[in-house]
Amino acid sequence: SHYSPTADAQAAIGRAGVVIEVMQDAGMITAEQAASVKPAKVKLAGDKAQDSVRYFTDWALPQLESLIDETEKPIDVWTTLDLGMQRAGTNAIKNGVPAGAQGALVTLDRDGAVRAMVGGTDYAKSNYNRAVTALRQPGSSWKLFVYLTAIEGGYRPEDKVEDKPVTIGGWTPKNSGGNFAGEITLRTAFSYSKNTVAAQLGEELGTSSISNMARRFGITTPISTGPAMVLGSSETRVIEMTRAFASVAARGRSVTPYAISKVTTIDGDVIYKHKPPKQVQLVEDYVAGAMTDLMQSAVAGGTGGAAQIGRPVAGKTGTTSSNKDGWFLGFSSGLTTGVWMGRDDARPVGNLQGGHAPARAWGNYMRIAVANRPVEHFATDVSFPERLEEDTAAEGEEEILVDENGMPIEGEPLPTVHSPDDAIEPEQVDDEFIDRALGRNRGQVDPGSVEDEPTPQ
């Protein structure tokens, strides 16, 4: 890329002269042939307005420094980029963004391979890579972490929640359209991106728990723990949000993006080969399955309807205040793609909503990206763990006393209560009871224990 005529024409001419000399020295061409070549007189083709592959190579090639040792031999670098997907992504962003806005797109395969990366509408005009560098508010796409936390905390898609006016710490969230639906299911709240429900979940679950969930799924940027964080007020990157959605698609297992699959010398010797990092189970299968179920509903009949592509899709829209940012992130047939649109100066963009231009661009791109892949149905038929309604022993089981390390203490077990009809009043847990349970006489002290003030006799 340093010697590209579009980057430095004089460097390209100079390098061409070096190559010709080496070809002559190697006996590949004669001195007469070398002398007949005049690199400075070569007419360059007009620069194409779109060269979006450079967004990817600008990001990928610097990674070589940490992957291989310096070598004098020429090398071949094999990357994960799929040129067909890159071309489709470029067209989707270039033709899909509102006037005056920018856009970005990232696609990850199921193993984390980056198949497409578009950092803007025109690399020749701006080489700023909005896919991996720009920090933007994710809006309601951040609700991925809110609902992951809720499901892990015991919520189920069909549980009832209430869409109603709420005020938390002086903050009063509003729904798009300003209306309230009353009692609805968690599925409906997610599908229609109800802000008031997300706010209530944040208050109940704790915003620090939601922040920890985002960290678990690969978000590295600073995260506010104020009540408004549930609506995506903390800035993040497109590639990190895409990675988080890809990890849900992987049934809750971590996905790590990578760009270089192998490096060989010009002789064919392999000096680097990508080794997949060990996957970490970020959430249980049932949590990821239920989350996928909610996201599938959001596309099938909710805010993400414009992203339908004729095969199973799971995803989430995102829109920030005053329409400054629009997002759609989702997955289908093993590919996870994130799309962002907005202005670099963060000014409002008329009618920019995640369910409009970003979702349409996502759909237009993904129809092409998955065309040669088999249709895959999501693993959403999951078994939830039994809810602990009461902290009582199962029938026929005996409750025992345990010490501070969880080890059983020999002594008299507590009576098991089977039903209200045969309930037995539990024995009073006083000093005498504890002495008998521990098998010690009054006045003795366990070895190694610290004695408190004497108990009055």
pTM: 0.77
For residues 26 and 101, membership in a common domain is answered with no
For residues 363 and 417, membership in a common domain is answered with no
Report pLDDT for 398. 43
For residues 102 and 30, membership in a common domain is answered with no
Q: 154 lies in a domain? A: yes
The residue range of the domain holding 246 is 85-369
Q: What is the C-alpha to C-alpha distance for residues 316 and 314, in angstroms, rounded to an integer?
A: 7
For residues 414 and 336, membership in a common domain is answered with no
Q: 136 lies in a domain? A: yes
For residues 365 and 396, membership in a common domain is answered with no
How many angstroms separate the Cα of 281 from the Cα of each of 251, 256, 278?
A: 9, 13, 10
Q: 241 lies in a domain? A: yes
Tokens of 161: 């929640």
For residues 401 and 331, membership in a common domain is answered with no
Report pLDDT for 40. 87
Report pLDDT for 415. 40
Report pLDDT for 50. 53
Q: What is the C-alpha to C-alpha distance for residues 290 and 186, in angstroms, rounded to an integer?
A: 11
Report pLDDT for 417. 36
For residues 345 and 276, membership in a common domain is answered with yes
Contact 338, 239 (CB under 8 A): yes
Report pLDDT for 431. 54
Beta strands in 7-118 (DSSP E): 75-79, 102-108, 114-118
For the chain, the domain total comes to 3
CA-angle at 333, arms to 52 and 95, nearest 5°: 35
Per-residue pLDDT of the chain (457 residues; tens, 9 = 90+): 577 776 678 888 999 999 999 999 999 999 999 999 998 888 877 655 458 999 999 999 999 999 999 888 899 999 999 999 999 999 999 999 999 999 999 999 999 999 999 999 999 999 999 999 999 999 999 999 999 999 999 999 999 999 999 999 999 999 988 999 999 999 999 999 999 999 999 999 999 999 999 999 999 999 999 999 999 999 999 999 999 999 999 999 999 999 999 999 988 999 999 999 999 999 999 999 999 999 999 999 999 999 999 999 999 999 999 999 999 999 999 999 999 999 999 999 999 999 999 999 999 999 999 999 999 999 999 999 987 544 433 444 444 454 444 444 454 443 433 333 443 344 444 455 445 444 445 444 333 333 333 333 3
For residues 363 and 402, membership in a common domain is answered with no
For residues 106 and 152, membership in a common domain is answered with yes
For residues 159 and 283, membership in a common domain is answered with yes
Report pLDDT for 399. 42
Instruction: Give the CATH number, domain containing residue 364.
Output: 3.40.710.10
Report pLDDT for 41. 87
Report pLDDT for 290. 98
Full DSSP string of 285-328: HHHHHHHHHHHHHHHHHSTTGGG--SS--EEEEEE-GGG-EEEE
For residues 361 and 440, membership in a common domain is answered with no
Tokens of 12: 């390209």
The DSSP 8-state label assigned to residue 283 in this structure reads S
Report pLDDT for 418. 38
Q: 385 lies in a domain? A: no
Q: 387 lies in a domain? A: no
Q: What is the C-alpha to C-alpha distance for residues 15 and 269, in angstroms, rounded to an integer?
A: 25
Q: 162 lies in a domain? A: yes
For residues 210 and 256, membership in a common domain is answered with yes
Coil, strand, or helix at residue 338? strand
Q: 165 lies in a domain? A: yes
Q: 381 lies in a domain? A: no
Coil, strand, or helix at residue 155? coil
Tokens of 339: 């799309």
